[in-house]
Copies of this chain bind each other. A is one copy, B any other.
Amino acid sequence: MELLRISELAKIAGVTVRTVRYYEELGLLPSYERKQSKHRRYTEKDLIYLKRIIQLKGYGLTLQEIGEIIELSKDDPSGEKRRTLLLRRYREKLENALQKKEEMDKYIAELKWHIDQLEKVANFQSCPGSECLQCLYKEKCRFAITNHERRQA
C-alpha cells in the first residue's frame, strides 16, 4: 500500500493542503510522528477519515461538532453513543435545512420582484431616503418606516 503525500491526499479529497494541516491541528486527523522525514504521509484509511469529515461538514456540522463525534468514537465500543449524537445532529441540521428552504423561496420571489421593479421604474434618484415616506411603493418596501415600528421603539 502506497503512502500519499499531503498534496495527493488533498487533491483526491478536493480540499487544499492548508485544510488538511488545519484539521490535523484541530485533532480531526491523526498527526503521526514524522521521524526520518518531516513530511506527512497518509494511508488510505486517513483518506477515508478526511472524506468523512468533509461529508459531515457538508451536512452542516461545525468542525467542533465533528470533533465531538470523533472524540466519542474513542471510547464507544458498541457505537451507540456515536449513533445517538449523530442522529441528534442530523435531525437538527435537517430542521434547519427545511426552514432555510422555505426562507429561500420567499427570498427568491423577493429578489425577482426587485429585479422587475428596477427594470421598470423610471426614476429612483432619492431611493432610499426620507423621500421614502411619500413613496408610492411604501407598502411594498421593507425598509420604509411605518408608524407601527415607531411606536415599538
Binding site for B on A (CB under 8 A): 4, 8, 11-12, 44-45, 47-49, 51-52, 54-55, 58-59, 77-79, 82-83, 86-87, 90-91, 93-94, 97-98, 100-101, 104-105, 107-108, 110-112, 114-115, 118-119, 123-125, 127-130, 132-133, 142-145, 149-150, 152-153
Q: Shortest beta-carbon distance, A113 to chain B, in Å?
A: 10
Q: Kindly list the 4 A-B residue pairs having the minimum CB-CB distance in the complex, ordered from nearest.
A: A51-B143, A79-B125, A52-B128, A45-B130
Within the complex, what minimum Cβ distance (angstroms) separates A110 from chain B?
Answer: 8
Bound CA span A47–B104, Å: 26
Of the candidates B59, B78, B142, the one whose C-beta lies within 8 Å of that of A111 is: B59
CB distance from A137 to the nearest CB of B (A): 13
Which residues of chain B have C-beta atoms less than 8 A from A105's C-beta?
A: 101
State A125–B72 Cα separation when bound (angstroms): 11
Q: List 17 A-B contacts (CB under 8 A).
A: A12-B152, A44-B130, A48-B129, A48-B132, A51-B128, A51-B142, A51-B143, A55-B143, A79-B123, A79-B125, A79-B127, A87-B115, A87-B119, A90-B114, A90-B118, A97-B108, A101-B105
